[in-house]
Amino acid sequence: MHMANELLSVPVAAGSAAIAAAGLGFICRKVRQIITAEKLALMGILGAFVFAAQMVNFQLPAMPGTSGHMVGAVLLAIILGPHMGAIVISSVVIIQCLIFQDGGLLALGCNIINIALVPSYLGYFLYRTVTAGPFNSLRAYVGAVLACVIAMQGSAALVPVQAALSGVLAVPFTTFLITMLGVHLLVGLVEGLITVAVLGYLQQVRPDIVVNSLPGKVRLSKKAVLATLVIFTIVIGAGISLLASDKPDGLEWSYAERPDQPDFEGIISNDSPTIAAADKLQARYSLLPDYSLRSSVIGDTAENHVEASAGWTSFAGVVGSAATMVLIWLIARVLRKKERLQA
């Protein structure tokens, strides 16, 4: 899931961008020694492959009308290794942001961390850990599925965390977190299954490609798929029932915990030191400190009345801006028509 500009404050966005930049810079420097000239084109093309792969969708079971597609981060990490995989997926994320406007410019740093760096390394690490030792088809299967699921969970969990750090969540943090994790449990499962299936196909058709990552046969057997589905159903079911019984008031327990603060900003526990620090930072660097400081947000003004003059200012602002835009458009139109006549 792409992080959006609107879920971030400038300090958090800048911090994430700095972390992403440092991470990428480090990886680029690190791989410079191991990247041969041939790898350059290969990595670039595999980035394009990730895009094209998203066109290939397939029906999901038990949910008519929905379809899944492959994300590919873990597949690339398994085949190319985590460093190169991370670079490829980062370039994919940058293109998604710049050319296709998926996820905003400000959120780019977060998206590189969430979608490229974390899944590549986490997924690779998990896969390697599970498949360590002599090759075993079941282990490869479990390793790939687990790698995809956990990598997806990791990247999905980061979105609400970053939003909470920014202090812009209207939705309670836990609700958001659980929703993200739940949705991505499914996405991760589908990703795991398709990754195994693609690995199996590659091994059958071009074993030379996966020789290092898959030194034996792996098959997408009916039993394995069925077992995975069953296990997941149990996990999800257990999770839901636990939540339902433990917290009678559903997912909004964070609301209940702070009855003293009906203010929406209080929902994200405001007294956590990290958030307080982020707040302070935000207050210092925010361009409009008195407005974005959480304590003062609306707090005073929301007392149900606003000065009438403010209403007129905003009215003037909107009407004036609209008029300006129409004017600009008209002038451009006239000019263009004239140009066309001259040509």
Partner 1 sequence: MHHAHIDKFAYQDSPVHRLDSRVKFIVVLVFTALVISLPRTSVSILACYAVGPFAILVLAGIPLRFVFKHILLVSPFVLILALSCPLYDKTPVSVAFGPFLWNTSVGWMRCFTILGKFTVTMLALIALISTTRFNDLLTGLQRLGLPRLLVIQLGFLYRYIFVLIDRAHRILRARAGRRLRRLKFRAELQIAASMLGSLFIRSIDAAEHINIAMQARGFDGNWRTLSKLQIRRCDLFFLLAAVVFMLGIYFFVKPILL
Task: Looking at residues 107 to 166 of the shown chain, list those that interact with partner 1 (rule: CB under 8 A).
Answer: none
Contact map string, positions 262 to 281, toward partner 1, x by CB under 8 A? xxx--x--------------
Identify which of residues 132 and 205 has a Cβ nearer to partner 1 in the complex. 205
Q: 37, 132, 341, 343: which one contacts partner 1 (CB under 8 A)?
A: 37
Q: Does 202 bind partner 1 (CB under 8 A)?
A: yes
Q: Name the minimum Å distance from CB 28 to partner 1.
A: 4
Compute the half-sphere exposure of residue 302: CA atoms within 13 Å on the CB side of its CA. 10
Q: Is the dihedral of CA 180, 183, 187, 190 positive or negative?
A: positive
Q: Is 67 helix (H, G, I), strand (E, B) or coil?
A: strand
- Minimum Å distance from CB 290 to partner 1? 9
Which region, judged by CB under 8 A, interacts with partner 1, from 128-136, 180-188, 190-198, 235-243? 190-198
Distances, alpha carbon 216 to alpha carbons 73, 96, 206, in Å: 22, 35, 13
Distance CA 282, CA 9 (A): 7
173 lies in the site for partner 1, by CB under 8 A: no
- The residue range among 89-97, 124-132, 136-144, 233-241 that interacts with partner 1, by the rule CB under 8 A, is 89-97
Asked if 92 interacts with partner 1 (CB under 8 A), we say: yes
Q: What amino acid is encoded at 36 in this protein?
A: T
User: By CB under 8 A, what part of segment 282-321 binds partner 1?
Assistant: 286-288, 291-292, 297-298, 301-302, 304-308, 310-321
Look-up of token digits 């403010």: 310
Q: Provide, rounded to whole angstroms, the least separation between the CB of residue 13 and partner 1.
A: 7
4: buried, middle or exposed (CB in 10 Å: 19+, 13-18, 0-12)? middle
How would DSSP label each residue in 265-309?
GGGS-TT-HHHHHHHHHHHHH-SSHHHH-TTTTTTTTTTT---HH
* Region from 98-106, 145-153, 239-247, 272-280 binding partner 1, contact rule CB under 8 A: 98-106
Of the residues 205, 284, 340, 341, which one makes contact with partner 1 according to CB under 8 A: 205
Tokens 């589908």 sit on residue: 190
**Whole-angstrom distance, CA of residue 180 vs CA of residue 162:** 13
Q: Which helix (H) or strand (E) holds 183?
A: helix 173-205
Residues in contact with partner 1, counted by CB under 8 A, come to a total of 111
Stretch in the footprint of partner 1 (CB under 8 A) among 47-55, 125-133, 180-188, 240-248: 47-55
Based on the shown chain and the rule CB under 8 A, indicate whether residue 209 belongs to the binding site for partner 1. yes
Q: Which of 171, 178, 186, 281 binds partner 1 (CB under 8 A)?
A: 171
Residues 6+ positions from 167 with CB-CB distance below 8 Å? 9, 265, 268, 275, 278, 279, 282, 294
Contacts with partner 1, 212-251, as mask; x by CB under 8 A: --------x-x--x--------------------------
